[in-house]
């Protein structure tokens, strides 16, 4: 079984920064091989922001996040971080971390698909004001 606890959201001004955290609690490291972050705005579908392959450290980003956000992991703390810099009002939303196990070679095309992730955190709110 896998449990995700995400946190770190808050309210910032345009151009500000936040760091989200996702603590991964699992009975076995073999339950998952990818942790992703998703954003959901009011009335919008959940969209992938970034993901990390937990075994090798490969990272994946949405075009909107590239160059501003950084996903990383601390294996000793079982935590995945999303450092968000140069935040914009359109980055506002409820951010969820998610975890899953992907078939070999599928991450590049599937990392941002919500139905590929089996486990989800409760979400943390990010609000960026102009």
Query: Whole-angstrom Cα distance, residue 65 to residue 18?
Result: 13
Q: Which pLDDT score, from 0 to 100, does residue 17 have? A: 98
Q: Which pLDDT score, from 0 to 100, does residue 113 have? A: 96
Structure tokens at 44: 């919008």
**Angle at 78 (CA atoms; ends 75, 82), nearest 5 degrees:** 90
Query: Whole-angstrom Cα distance, residue 1 to residue 28?
Result: 8
Q: Which pLDDT score, from 0 to 100, does residue 65 have? A: 98
Q: Which pLDDT score, from 0 to 100, does residue 28 have? A: 79
pLDDT single digits (tens) 5-47: 999 999 999 999 999 999 999 987 778 999 999 999 999 999 9
Q: Are strands 124-129 and 10-13 parallel, antiparallel or unpaired?
A: parallel
Q: Which pLDDT score, from 0 to 100, does residue 16 have? A: 98
Number of neighbouring beta carbons within 10 Å of residue 30 = 9
Average pLDDT over residues 53-75: 96
Q: Which pLDDT score, from 0 to 100, does residue 98 have? A: 98
Query: Whole-angstrom Cα distance, residue 73 to residue 75?
Result: 6
pLDDT single digits (tens) 90-116: 999 999 999 999 988 888 899 999 999
């Amino acid at each position: 079984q896998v449990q995700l606890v995400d946190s770190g959201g808050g309210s910032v001004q345009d151009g500000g920064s936040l760091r989200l955290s996702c603590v991964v609690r699992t009975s076995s490291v073999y339950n998952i091989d990818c942790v992703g972050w998703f954003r959901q705005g009011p009335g919008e579908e959940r969209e992938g922001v970034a993901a990390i392959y937990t075994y090798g450290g490969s990272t994946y980003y949405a075009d909107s996040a590239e160059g501003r956000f950084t996903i990383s992991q601390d294996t000793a703390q079982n935590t995945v971080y999303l450092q968000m810099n140069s935040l914009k009002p359109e980055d506002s939303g409820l951010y969820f971390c998610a975890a899953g196990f992907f078939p070999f070679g599928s991450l590049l095309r599937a990392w941002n698909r919500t139905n590929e992730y089996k486990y989800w955190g409760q979400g943390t709110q990010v609000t960026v004001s102009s």
